[in-house]
Amino acid sequence: MQLTRFTDYSLRILMYAAALDEGELANIDDIAETFHISANHLTKSVHRLGKLGYIRTVRGRRGGFRLAKQPSEIRIGEVVRQTEENWNLLECFDAGDAYCILNPMCNLKRVLGEALKAYLAVLDAYTLEDIAGNRSLMRRLLRVGDPRLST
């Protein structure tokens, strides 16, 4: 299973925001430069994360965003479920899409469905706090607070 770029970027945004000090704001341009990814794609992810209640945006010239919850309250499995759109591992997972001659006796769909549940259960066991790791090291790696990145 491969997560979409949208989910990847959403998780990176949350990890970046988790590295911020109280009162600091993240902004899309700094994250785009840090990760060498499109600001346009990040804008979509930030918008969605805001709608989902994971981040709080601050408008204005010095605006940006910060986490709306504590990192320990953000479950990775929940974020992945809310940012991934397609959980159909096979065509037959979409009831209205495809017919397979093996459907009456096939166990593959059941096995893969069980594997998907186990995959998500593992992600549910971790929070943003768990994956963000050592906060001071994360800040250094991401260059958070580096005045050369301020826009």
Query: Where are the chain's structural domains?
Result: 5-86+127-149
Assigned CATH class of 5-86+127-149:
mainly alpha
Mean pLDDT of all residues in 116-124: 96
pLDDT tens profile 48-102: 999 999 999 998 888 899 999 999 999 999 999 999 988 877 777 766 666 777 7
pTM of the model: 0.86
Instruction: Give the confidence band of 151 by pLDDT, cuts at 50, 70, 90.
Output: very low
β strands within the chain, DSSP E: 55-58, 64-67
